[in-house]
Structure 1
Amino acid sequence: MINIAGVVAVEALDPDSRDAGVAAHYGDPMREQRTLETAVGLVDRSNRGVVAVPGDERLSWLHSITSQHLSDLTGGTELLVLSPNGHVEHHALVADDGVTTWLDTEPGAAADLLVFLEKMRFFARVEPRDATAETAVLSLVGPGAADALGAGLAEPRIDPVPGPKFPSGSVAARPSSGYDVRAIDGVGLARRTRLGVDLLVPRASVPEVIERLGVPLAGLWAYEAIRVAARVPRLGLETDHRTIPAEVDLIGPAVHLDKGCYRGQETVARVHNLGRPPRRLALLHLDGVATDVPPAPGTPVTLDGRAVGFVGTAVRHHELGLVALAVLKRNVPDDARLLVAESAAAIDPE
């Protein structure tokens, strides 16, 4: 964690949080949010797990065992590892530097991801390893994120999701999302994403990188508020053991629908062609009258006394107020009068 005056650690506020090890805020979380929305701030996300995959066959190998089209990857993207039944087991952001493919994932998830990769190695010329102890993730967030590096990083690309039963060969043979990746002298590897610019830097160099960038620091509370408002799901919060990619809007960023076989592909194709995922991701506005405490992850969402979903991440947003990402049954109407614990909740229809 970056130790400066006023820093408040996540674990000081929630000892059981998965995000222990980084700053929740630096004294003024609302101001930090506004900085991320209007200018640029630097967020310590060094608790994320990082797996390094060097080797001549790394891209073709990852292409064959994950949801993404990676055989000719240049730069970055997102990928999923699915169960044989198509349930989401791992979600990683990807950055390839021409020698090594870097996969960063949820805090504490790198070890399990590495176990899966090792099981799938067979005779492939790859040497995956857990690089969490050597590599830290920092994130520049805000409209000035790319300019803060002076590297001219291109805007992120997410291809439109094709309709059901699209003709084979009509989807471009490239990653369904494309994130510009550059090596920045004195900083590390930079990857433009949906929420800003992620930096993969040597862990020992974090203080020097912060000083070099000269960007205001913002805590994870501010980052999570920006993420929730952008409706970007997070593994283990907006997912459970039954989640399939179409339920949480991960098809576009992380799934290529015409790349051939991989584990779980049959479920992805069937749900896409039928067009009826059992659940959907929604942004809820909570009234904050009964309580202004954000509900915990997993809190049931109810309609007329019956559970119709669960809350993933709930935050206090500096403009939207108390909001939450939730996973709801697909047939819950947008105008439903929902309850989350004591709070009335309304769906933001976008």
Structure 2
Amino acid sequence: MSNAHGLEERRRALREGALVQAMPELGTLIVTGSDRQTWLNGLVTCDLAPQKPLPAGAKAAPPAGGAYGLNVGKTGKIFAEVWIVIAADRIYVGALRERVEQLRELFDRHLIMEDAEVQDASGEHAWAFVHGPRSADLAAAGRAAGAEAAIVDWTGLGGALLVAPRQAEGAVLEALLAEGEARAVLPVTAAAWEVLRVENNVPRFGVDFDDQNFPQEASIEDRAVSFSKGCYLGQETVFMLQARGHAKKRLVQLAVEGEGGVPAGAEIALPDGAAVGAVTSQVEDPRGTGLLALGYVKYKHAVQGTALRVAGRAAEITRAPRAGDGPGRAKV
């Protein structure tokens, strides 16, 4: 699957079918108790507000929902990405394993009088992501095989989150992949996804952003942050940065001319040589010679089509956050 032919098949699956990605790097927190949803909603950037009660006689929707979001500190900087599946009697929170214990401790510190309990169940549960337009179909297949699932498009490619008891992991993955290549449903390894995520402008925690970044710097606020929900930890800074200021830098995708890679952290500069940022990820450009890269540039240059240089090679911004902040607003 590491060859170009295998990647092209998986590009097609992203366009027409679905990719199934096992996620052993995720740990699991389970939140229970009658206040679990409203309490957790105050600790993440995504909106988990419970739905309003249904009118008498109305048919209930399937109980599972979910979201992709962030836990941010009081300063508004990202502590952890979270993938959330809401089941009938509990909430599953997926996070990178190296963050799970600290995240559990943080959650516990914010339990006061609420009826909620947080348990680390990383050893008992497994996660899988589905990417692509057929994600909803695969979520239904995963549920039938014993997983909890939610339709969550956190990449802009279409998506679903699945979490299952460890003993059901094999059966769930088998069910997800049952339709196979004929229906453009394929597995994707971590190495292949690394290429595809850069091609599709999907940043990665620990590589393209970390706990020193605001959501807006990582250019994930549209995917991970609700600006209409109620209060949550770190909301004031994140909201004010969006409403009254702008991030000093933004993560963008660039096409870089020339053969071969560039050094890790390669400088991004204006045509006159003035440094404006640095590369965080790079892969070969599938359209021909050159690279596709993710990297930070200063806010005022983060515009699609901007001509730049990367390690002395001609480059151009191919994807940038949507406009709307407007020049002249205060930097935060």
**Same fold by TM (over 0.5)?**
yes
2:101 corresponds, among 89, 102, 111, to 111
Residue type matched to 2:293 in 1?
A
More helix as a share of residues: 2
Structure-2-length-normalised TM-score: 0.76
Pairing 1:147-226 to 2, within 5 Å after superposition: 147-149=137-139, 184-194=143-153, 195=157, 196-213=159-176, 214=178, 215=180, 216-226=186-196
Distance in 1 between residues matched to 2:41 and 2:174, nearest whole Å: 38
- What's 1:312 paired with? 280
Give the C-alpha shift of residue 90 in structure 1. 1.6
- What's 2:326 paired with? none
- What's 1:135 paired with? 125
Cα distance change, pair 208–125 in 1 and its aligned pair in 2 (3 A): same
- What's 1:72 paired with? 50
Cα distance change, pair 282–61 in 1 and its aligned pair in 2 (3 A): same
2:114 corresponds, among 124, 134, 157, to 124
Cα distance change, pair 200–276 in 1 and its aligned pair in 2 (3 A): same
The question of 1:267 aligning with 2:234 is answered: no
- What's 2:225 paired with? 255
Distance in 2 between residues matched to 1:138 and 1:349, nearest whole Å: 27
Deviates more, 1:27-36 or 1:243-252: 27-36
- What's 2:298 paired with? 329
What is the SS of the residue equivalent to 1:117? helix
Structure-1-length-normalised TM-score: 0.73
Distance in 2 between residues matched to 1:255 and 1:40, nearest whole Å: 25
Cα distance change, pair 263–142 in 1 and its aligned pair in 2 (3 A): closer
Aligned residues: 294
Give the C-alpha shift of residue 347 in structure 1. 0.6
The percentage of aligned residue pairs carrying the same residue is: 28
Structure 1 vs Structure 2 CA RMSD: 3.0
- What's 1:36 paired with? 14
Cα distance change, pair 319–48 in 1 and its aligned pair in 2 (3 A): farther
| CA deviations over 1:227-286 (Å, ceiling 9, x no partner) | 334333332223244321222333333323243433322212322222422122211112
What is the SS of the residue equivalent to 1:261? coil
Cα distance change, pair 55–204 in 1 and its aligned pair in 2 (3 A): same
Cα distance change, pair 185–264 in 1 and its aligned pair in 2 (3 A): same
The question of 1:101 aligning with 2:71 is answered: no
5+ unaligned residues in a row in structure 2: which ranges?
52-63, 181-185, 321-332
Give the C-alpha shift of residue 349 in structure 1. 4.7
What is the SS of the residue equivalent to 2:172? helix
Distance in 1 between residues matched to 2:75 and 2:269, nearest whole Å: 28
Cα distance change, pair 277–228 in 1 and its aligned pair in 2 (3 A): same
What is the SS of the residue equivalent to 1:105? strand
- What's 2:208 paired with? 238
Does the 8 A contact of 1:106 with 1:235 survive in 2?
Answer: no
